[in-house]
Amino acid sequence: MNGRAKRSPWFITAFLLIIFLVGWHVATLRPAFNPQGKTEEELLLLEFNGDIVATDDGNYMWNPEKIKGVPGPLSVLDKVVTELGEAFEKKGTNDHGIAYLVYYTVSRFAVGFLAASVVAIVLGIFLGLNRMLFQAVNPFIQILKPISPLAWMPLLLYTVKDPTMTSVLVVFMASIWPTLATTAFGVNSLKKEYLHVASILQLSWFKRLYKVILPGAAPTIVNGLRISFGSALVAVVPAEMLLGELGVGYLSWIEWNNLDISGVIFAILVVGTVGMILDSGFNKLAGLVTYQE
Amino acid sequence: MKQEKTTETNRSLEEDLLQEVIEKTVLSAVTQAAGPSRRQLLVGLGATALTTLISQVLPLEKMVALAADPVGKPEKKNLSVGFIPITCATPIIMAEPLGFYEKHGLNAKVKRAAGWAMVRDWAINKEVDAAHMLSPMPLAITLGAGSLPVPFYMPAVENINGQAITLHNKHKAVKTAADMKGFRFCVPFDYSMHNYLLRYYLAEGGVHPDKDVQIRVVPPPEMVANLKAGNVDGYLAPDPFNQRAVYENVGFIFKLSKEIWDRHPCCAFAISKEFATTYPNTFLALFRSIVDATHYASDSAHRKEIAKAIASTNYLNQPVTVLEQVLTGTYADGMGSIKKDPDRIDFDPYPWHSMAIWILTQMKRWGHLNGDVNYSSIAEEVYRAGECDKIAKELGHPTHEKTMTTHTIMGKTFNPQQPEAYVKSFTIHSMA
């Protein structure tokens, strides 16, 4: 490796970001309000409807509170600052700060994903160890796997009758199949020598599981978990939107319903940031269990 | 028992309910305790005779008085009430920030839902204790139209008037219903006054709502966004979404719903029969808070204060100016003028049985109900007009002599005594 490649290309990243922000700002600039050619009555109506506001010197300007079209980066920044300033405030049942919303979403996600992973790994090991059972069950898995987790939602809502539980189960449904399929495959394709050695050593069933099967299949299982992780993240946002459960997904829907596009962009940024943090945390964990042949 | 007879006339409502609950409890406890052999004997006596017998031993009167003390303590203080963020729900929502629930001894929090199906499911699944509903919904739920049948009460109407037909700006040339053929409309829910009023209006203009136009269900908060995106031509929707369309410069107010039927009911306060009978004191306290708040909202002097109280993100999440225009009735119509109509929205809790009957006739007319409908008995069961008046009297508000009245809808008189003939009088309908 030479010196040039080692340097992180952060300046290119920063350059791209600046280009993007400046472009965004210029594209959303709006000419100042021009009262020429408008009658007194029209101006009054515009003011009544909140389009313009009177300035101190007797002229009019666009109402800064009412943004038309896509808002510029400055008004999004403004929204970000206000929201982060109130991140830990609870103003009643329906208006919780962003920190709480992130907490709700992450805990919903975590519960669903962990439960699905445990179930999928246990089932996967069983299926992987028993070839005949695996082949018998495989058609079901193949049918259930491609179903969008959101397609389950009405049925879940009808049966469990609880929106919080339903959103957790949607995450569960999203994350169970990839892990199940890859675990079964990983266990099934373990090197036969490993199992032979284990039986020669007369290891107990549990020891065999912990010392041989799980470590052997770990890289494949982790791959499955990674796919599950991604699809669970994708599922949690629309599930909140549809169920009206407080969380970052619901935030973006509420802001859209209120036509507050700065709020929508803020919600998107939050979803992205949360996803990135969770994902990098997961990758660190995954790095612990993989090994080189 | 002698004493009871003399005081019976000025007994208040919760005492009646309490008496019933206590008597039943004591009665069942006694029959249980008596054991199988004597139970038969006791049951043979009949419940009334048995109550009399028990009341000679046990001071039932005193127990009622104790349990009802001071004004019937609510069995359940912490409540959750579901709502949709629209101005129709004003009394239910503002009762939290303006302290009406607190005043009547409750700690109630309002919980915002994104659509009517969601609020209905919350109410049926007991996710909330009571809910803001559309006035046809408790009837539909009780009859099992669109959901499992669950007996519901509608103790009070929230608002009268306050809806409008809003059209996209590209349709400014539209003058009559006939010009709307081929339009795509949205309404907030199948079982809504909006749906029935829009259908009525279109049909009066010779447009068949199931054949000549498309009517789809869209949750109110999503309507302006849909209009803006050009997905729909217009809607008959609750405010603030009519005014919000004007505010966003995407639509104009074509017709206020009061021009179709002045003083029509719209949204309502609803509670399951199970909750009302399990927690009678809580139910009455809630009922009182709602009637109290509704009368407060009816006073036009309070409207600006209310607009400020419910505009925040926690409740309606709307610009204050939009809510003020809706509630004060001085508004920009989107056609270039400012209109004044103080009755654009009003609030009146009294649930006329004749309103329920009109709704049932329209449900039948558009195929939402099949077969014979027992109009007046369903209306009496679900719309709690008598109890509403008792509470109004307690709080010092005007009461009503009748529970039925005639209504005039687009110049035609509806006689609640002849519902079946009314249904048959329509040439445009979707009955099988």
Tokens representing A214?
């799980």
| Chain A residues lying within 8 Å of B313, measured CB to CB | 91, 94-95
| Chain B residues lying within 8 Å of A157, measured CB to CB | 121
Tokens representing A189?
């394709």
A47 touches chain B (CB under 8 A): no
Strand order in the sheet with B163-168: B214-217, B184-187, B234-238, B163-168, B251-256
Closest-CA distance, B312 to chain A, in angstroms, reads 9
User: Which comes out higher in pLDDT, residue B5 or B286?
Assistant: B286
Rg of chain A over all Cα atoms, to the nearest angstrom: 27
| Residue B309 in domain | yes
Between CA A236 and CA A100 the distance in angstroms is 16
A94 touches chain B (CB under 8 A): yes
Asked whether the beta carbons of B354 and B416 are under 8 A apart, the reply is yes
Residues B243 and B366 both lie in one domain = no
Of B139, B157, B137, B212, the C-alpha closest to B180 is: B212
- pLDDT tens-digit series, residues B320-334: 889 989 999 899 988
Tokens representing B137?
């919904």
In our burial notation (b when 16+ CB lie closer than 10 A, e otherwise), range A174-183 reads bbbbbbbbbb
Query: Do A94 and B112 count as a contact with CB atoms less than 8 A apart?
Result: yes
Angle between helices A98-129 and A163-188 (to 10 degrees): 40
Residues B357 and B230 both lie in one domain = no
Residues B103 and B211 both lie in one domain = no
% of chain B exceeding 90 in pLDDT: 32
Query: Do B114 and A244 count as a contact with CB atoms less than 8 A apart?
Result: yes
Q: Is the pLDDT of residue B164 over 90?
A: yes
In our burial notation (b when 16+ CB lie closer than 10 A, e otherwise), range B317-351 reads bbbebbbbbbbbbebbbbeeeeeeeeebbbbbbbb
Report A:128-157 residues touching B (Cβ under 8 A): 157
Of A274, A285, A226, A287, the C-alpha closest to A99 is: A274
DSSP B153-171: EEEEE-EEE-EEEEEEGGG
pLDDT tens per residue across all 293 residues of chain A: 454 556 678 889 999 999 999 999 888 887 778 777 778 778 888 888 888 888 877 778 888 777 777 888 888 898 899 888 887 887 777 788 889 989 999 999 999 999 999 999 999 988 888 888 888 888 888 888 888 888 888 888 878 878 888 889 999 999 999 899 889 888 888 777 777 787 788 878 788 888 788 888 888 888 888 888 888 888 888 888 888 788 888 888 888 877 788 888 999 999 889 888 888 888 887 777 766 55
Q: Is the pLDDT of residue B71 over 70?
A: no
Closest-CA distance, A158 to chain B, in angstroms, reads 9
| Chain A residues lying within 8 Å of B110, measured CB to CB | 93-94
Asked whether the beta carbons of A156 and A216 are under 8 A apart, the reply is no
Q: What number of residues does chain A have?
A: 293
Q: Pairing mode, if any, of strands A52-54 and A60-62?
A: antiparallel
| Residue B327 in domain | no
Between CA A85 and CA A164 the distance in angstroms is 27
Tokens representing A6?
């080692």
In our burial notation (b when 16+ CB lie closer than 10 A, e otherwise), range B263-283 reads ebbbbbbbbbbebbeebbbbb
| Chain B residues lying within 8 Å of A49, measured CB to CB | 246-247, 249, 321, 332
Q: Which residue of B has its CA nearest to A161?
A: B125
Neighbours of A46 (CB within 10 A): 20
CB neighbour list of residue B330: distance below 8 Å, 6 or more residues apart: B338, B339, B340
Residues B170 and B154 both lie in one domain = no
Rg of chain B over all Cα atoms, to the nearest angstrom: 24
Residue A169: predicted pLDDT: 92
Query: Do A50 and B247 count as a contact with CB atoms less than 8 A apart?
Result: yes
Of B293, B298, B297, B290, the C-alpha closest to B384 is: B290
Domain with B7, as residue range(s), is 2-72
Residues B19 and B167 both lie in one domain = no
Measured between its terminal Cα atoms, the distance across chain A in Å is 25
Closest-CA distance, A153 to chain B, in angstroms, reads 13
| Residue B342 in domain | no
Between CA B280 and CA B15 the distance in angstroms is 10
- pLDDT tens-digit series, residues B98-134: 899 998 888 999 998 888 888 888 888 888 999 999 9
Closest-CA distance, B193 to chain A, in angstroms, reads 22
| Residue B430 in domain | no
Residue B267, beta-bridge partner list:
B134
Between CA A232 and CA A120 the distance in angstroms is 14
Between CA B53 and CA B47 the distance in angstroms is 10
Neighbours of B103 (CB within 10 A): 14
Between CA A268 and CA A237 the distance in angstroms is 10
Closest-CA distance, A160 to chain B, in angstroms, reads 10
| Chain A residues lying within 8 Å of B109, measured CB to CB | 92-93
Between CA B164 and CA B259 the distance in angstroms is 9
DSSP A143-190: HHTTS-GGGGHHHHHHHH--HHHHHHHHHHHHHHHHHHHHHHHHHHTS
Q: Pairing mode, if any, of strands B214-217 and B184-187?
A: parallel
Tokens representing B150?
């669950």
* Domain stops at, among B20, B43, B72: B72
Residues B302 and B419 both lie in one domain = yes
Residues B399 and B363 both lie in one domain = yes
Mutation to test the B interface, candidates A258, A262, A264, A266, most B Cβ within 10 Å: A258
Residues B149 and B99 both lie in one domain = yes
Tokens representing A44?
């009054």
* Domain stops at, among B234, B262, B290: B262
Residues B52 and B38 both lie in one domain = yes
Q: Which positions in chain B have a beta carbon within 8 angstroms of at least one beta carbon in chain A?
A: 80, 96, 109-115, 118, 121-122, 125, 127, 221-222, 224-225, 228, 244, 246-249, 312-315, 317-319, 321-322, 332, 336-338
Tokens representing A201?
């050593």
Residue B339, beta-bridge partner list:
B331
Between CA A53 and CA A46 the distance in angstroms is 9
Residue B1: predicted pLDDT: 40
Between CA B329 and CA B345 the distance in angstroms is 7
| Residue B331 in domain | no
Residues B285 and B362 both lie in one domain = yes
| Residue B149 in domain | yes
Q: Is the pLDDT of residue B2 over 50?
A: no
Residue listed under structure tokens 């969380």: A247
Q: What is the tally of structural domains in chain B?
A: 3
Residues B149 and B177 both lie in one domain = no
Among the partner residues B127, B228, B317, nearest to A163 by beta-carbon distance: B127
A91 touches chain B (CB under 8 A): yes
Which CATH number goes with the domain that contains B273?
A: 3.40.190.10
% of chain B exceeding 70 in pLDDT: 84
Residue B7: predicted pLDDT: 41
Between CA B19 and CA B63 the distance in angstroms is 9
Between CA B155 and CA B162 the distance in angstroms is 20
Among the partner residues A49, A65, A91, nearest to B313 by beta-carbon distance: A91
* Domain stops at, among B72, B91, B124: B72
Angle between helices B385-394 and B13-33 (to 10 degrees): 120
Q: Is the pLDDT of residue B267 over 60?
A: yes
| Residue B341 in domain | no
Closest-CA distance, B349 to chain A, in angstroms, reads 26
Phi, psi angle pair for B82, to nearest 5°: -80, 145
Alpha helices in B329-398 (DSSP H): 353-365, 375-382, 385-394
Mean pLDDT across B46-57: 60
Asked whether the beta carbons of B251 and B245 are under 8 A apart, the reply is yes
Domains parsed from chain A with CATH numbers:
33-65 (no CATH), 98-289 (1.10.3720.10)
Q: Is the pLDDT of residue B56 over 50?
A: yes
Distances (CA, A) of A52 to A64, A76, B260, B304, B336: 8, 20, 34, 21, 15
Between CA A163 and CA A239 the distance in angstroms is 10
Closest-CA distance, B423 to chain A, in angstroms, reads 34
Peptide bond into A71 cis (omega under 30): no
Distances (CA, A) of B118 to B111, B189, B292: 11, 11, 27
Q: What number of residues does chain B have?
A: 432
Average pLDDT, chain B: 84
Residue B10: predicted pLDDT: 46
Full-model pTM: 0.78
| Chain B residues lying within 8 Å of A45, measured CB to CB | 332, 336-338
Q: Specify the 3-state DSSP secondary structure of B192.
A: coil
CB pairs A-B closer than 8 Å: 75
Closest-CA distance, B340 to chain A, in angstroms, reads 13
CB neighbour list of residue B147: distance below 8 Å, 6 or more residues apart: B120, B121, B124, B140, B141
B196: confidence class by pLDDT, cuts 50, 70, 90: very high
A97 touches chain B (CB under 8 A): no
Chain centroid, CA B308 distance in Å: 24
Q: What is the ipTM of this complex?
A: 0.72
| Chain A residues lying within 8 Å of B335, measured CB to CB | none
| Residue B335 in domain | no
User: Which comes out higher in pLDDT, residue B388 or A289?
Assistant: B388
Residue B69: predicted pLDDT: 43
Query: Do B332 and A45 count as a contact with CB atoms less than 8 A apart?
Result: yes
Distances (CA, A) of B38 to B6, B43, B44: 34, 9, 10
Between CA B291 and CA A37 the distance in angstroms is 51
Asked whether the beta carbons of B86 and B267 are under 8 A apart, the reply is yes
DSSP state of A33: P
Residue A191: predicted pLDDT: 74
Residues B167 and B155 both lie in one domain = no
